[in-house]
Amino acid sequence: MSQSVLSLFRDGHAYMSTWPVKKELYPHFPECKVISATRFSIAVMPPVAVVCSAMLINTLGSDYLPQTLAIGAFFLSLPLQGILWLGHRSNQSLPPSLKNWYHEIHGKLQQEGCDVHKRQSEPKYRELAALLKSAFEQLDKVFTRRWFE
């Protein structure tokens, strides 16, 4: 299923705010690293682009304006690349091993009486993110530690 770039940005931003960035998840999922790097680049890359562009124009002059704009655009595109990756990842179906894990966590949350969304038969990474977020918020560390040892 093909998606527009704007919907990927929207999905990526939503996925970035939904995914729980917890130390227990770092070894298992690349999302934690991508989200941390994307958040860092959102804060850092715009000033870096301005400073680099200003230094290049100051040093080389206006004859190098196209190259300067290209370098500035490169720095500004780095956070967008992370958001696009997250948007694409959020719409992917879970592999069978993670699907079983999703169903196990969902069952445990229901068993404990937690408020969870309806169980999906073909879950995607965004449903896993919502489920993990509610698991970390609603269950104590004794229950969540078992899943990540």
Q: Using only C-alpha atoms, what is the Rg of the chain?
A: 20
Q: What is the pLDDT of residue 55?
A: 96
Distance CA 93, CA 67 (A): 41
Q: What share of the chain has pLDDT > 90, as a percent? A: 64
Q: What is the pLDDT of residue 114?
A: 75
Residue type, 132: L
Span 53-93, pLDDT tens digits: 999 999 999 999 999 999 999 999 999 999 999 999 999 99
Average the pLDDT over 127-132 and give the result.
92
Span 83-120, pLDDT tens digits: 999 999 999 999 998 999 898 888 888 887 777 777 77
- 59: Cα separation from own chain's centroid: 37
Distance CA 46, CA 76 (A): 6
Q: What is the pLDDT of residue 143?
A: 60
Q: What is the pLDDT of residue 147?
A: 59
